[in-house]
Amino acid sequence: MTNRLVRINSIAHEAGVHLERMPRSNRAWRSEDHYPDRVNLVIATVDDVVCPLVCDYYGIWGAAVKWPMITMCTDGSVQGRGDWQVSSWSVIVIDDWFRSNWHTIPPEGHFRANTLAGAAFLSGRVTLDHGQGVFDAELQGIARGLLAVPVSCAVLVWTDSKSTIDALKAYAAEPRDRARLRMPGRQWLSLIHRLIACRLECGASTTILWIKAHSDEQSIEHVGNRCADELAKRASATPAPLHISTSLLPLEQEEPWLMMREWTAAGTAGRLITADPRRVCFRKLASCAQVEWTKSETQSLFSSPDVDGRALWKLVRSCLPRLCGHVLRFLTDTAHWYRPLDGGAAERRCVHCDTLLTTMHVVCCPLHSRRRQDAANNVRDLLAPYPDASAICNRWMADHDSDVRTLLVRLGLASGPTSSVAVAAASFGAFRQDTAVECSIRWHVPKLDRQQLLDRIRSTLFVWASRAWFLATN
């Protein structure tokens, strides 16, 4: 077969993505008029009415059950990075116990093990092979809270995530299925949208409001948010508390046609992909290209994780498009190759010292010391408005010769000997974005100015290196 679906499946497989048809199951979604059977309950008392919250339930229930309005606070948390990232969610109900005791709950960071012993809450941990980040954790907290109460009950949800509220509004306002498929967290958005619609059919309202996170304000909602934050952090802690849920909802049932899963190291379909499919495939294909780049015998010098060629490429493409070819030659270490008029391939040599004109030589050539000094001075001038960074530059001037490589090491934008690959790459602007952002925070650069400052530093560094390259070839 050669139709486009087969081709798409082949491309997805190369990117490490597994496509499956969505096996619909009517048994997965449950609907009951009263309390469901064989479920765990958490007892809350609201306005002297006993309200058993249902845990780990997928569906609607309680159309014939009468509860007072339920107010709850939800939150999500993520700890760790990469393969060791663990996300969690929490829901705490503003019940009679909470209304009587919220004044005594300590501020953030001072909770004890028994502080919330009498509270009515749900919390859960998303296992490593199903963790998707804090956005999904926030959405899961809202969904779990709505699933835990009767469909006939009015609900008020407080969340400190503006992005989830904006995403829910955008999902509800979007009529096109294809556009919804491209939304991050689409399965959770579909589930929450479905629960809100079912609640509306029963005459019950669902209100989701934003509240400021990590606030010192003393209101019952702010204290509830701090408690939800504490419970979510406890759920993602290692080792996990015994009382939290690790049950996974059949989230794939919210996919309209196909579901996407990541390939595991063992070659099996693993975690369900909830992010934008286009962005996921782009990142995975970029990762595959990175692996192939590292295998190259002649072009892999700057494929190290300590070199951030992507950030430099984006800057040059947007601000210095005439130098796009040069940035690719620098990053692939092919600046010294050229095609002579008689065909074939030849290698350039430095006109100053008759050495092979590789990228490393361009930024380390002894005869370019004056230009490296000028580049260092330009970087220092860019950092002059920021006293913390300027102080580092002044101390560097007293201890070292004026070389842009030693300045970058002192600033923390690169590490290692001046002849190392990471420092050489940083000297033409290919320093790591995450490290640079951390440095800008230490320099107390205002948040709105950080990216602009880093882009100006990258631009300055790449321009001096490009000029050095042109001079070395003429």
Determine the pLDDT at residue 83.
63
Which residue spans within 22-164 are E strands per DSSP? 30-32, 41-46, 49-54, 59-61, 70-79, 86-93, 121-126, 155-159
Q: pLDDT-based confidence at 188, cuts 50/70/90? A: very high
**Which range, 56-60, 361-365, 418-422, is most confident?**
56-60
Q: pLDDT-based confidence at 81, cuts 50/70/90? A: low
Determine the pLDDT at residue 400.
65
**Which range, 45-59, 330-344, 386-400, is most confident?**
45-59
In the predicted model, what is the mean pLDDT of residues 433-438?
93
Cβ–Cβ < 8 Å for 235, 244:
yes
Considering only 101-105, 247-251, 266-270, 345-349, which range has the smallest mean pLDDT? 266-270
Could you tell me the pTM of the whole model?
A: 0.78
Alpha helices per DSSP H over 320-432: 324-331, 359-364, 369-383, 387-399, 404-411, 421-427
Determine the pLDDT at residue 139.
94
SS3 147: helix
Taken in order 265, 269, 271, 275, the sign of the CA dihedral is: positive
What percentage of the chain carries pLDDT values higher than 90? 54
Cβ–Cβ < 8 Å for 259, 22:
yes
Determine the pLDDT at residue 238.
62
Residue-range domain boundaries for the chain? 20-254, 309-472
| C-beta atoms surrounding 336 within 10 Å | 22
The larger pLDDT score, comparing residue 259 to residue 148, is at 148
Question: What's the token pair of residue 119?
Answer: 């509270």
Cα–Cα distances in angstroms (integers) from residue 404 to residues 390, 423, 467, 471, in the given order: 15, 10, 15, 18
Cβ–Cβ < 8 Å for 60, 151:
yes
Considering only 53-62, 65-74, 107-116, 220-229, which range has the smallest mean pLDDT? 107-116
Cβ–Cβ < 8 Å for 290, 433:
no
SS3 153: coil
pLDDT per position as a tens digit, 285-304: 888 888 889 999 889 999 98
Determine the pLDDT at residue 1.
47
Residue 376's contacts (CB-CB under 8 Å, 6 or more residues apart) are 402, 403, 404, 406, 407
What is residue 366's DSSP assignment?
Answer: G
Q: pLDDT-based confidence at 131, cuts 50/70/90? A: low
User: Of all residues in the chain, what percent are helix, strand and coil, respectively (each to 5)?
Assistant: 45, 15, 40
| Amino acid at site 441 | I
Query: Which option is the CATH number for 20-254: 3.30.420.10, 3.40.50.720, 3.40.190.10, 3.40.47.40?
Result: 3.30.420.10
SS3 176: coil
In angstroms, rounded to a whole number, what is the distance separating the alpha carbons of residues 132 and 55?
21
pLDDT at 20 over 70: yes
| Amino acid at site 82 | G
Name the packing angle between helices 220-235 and 134-147 (round to 10°): 110
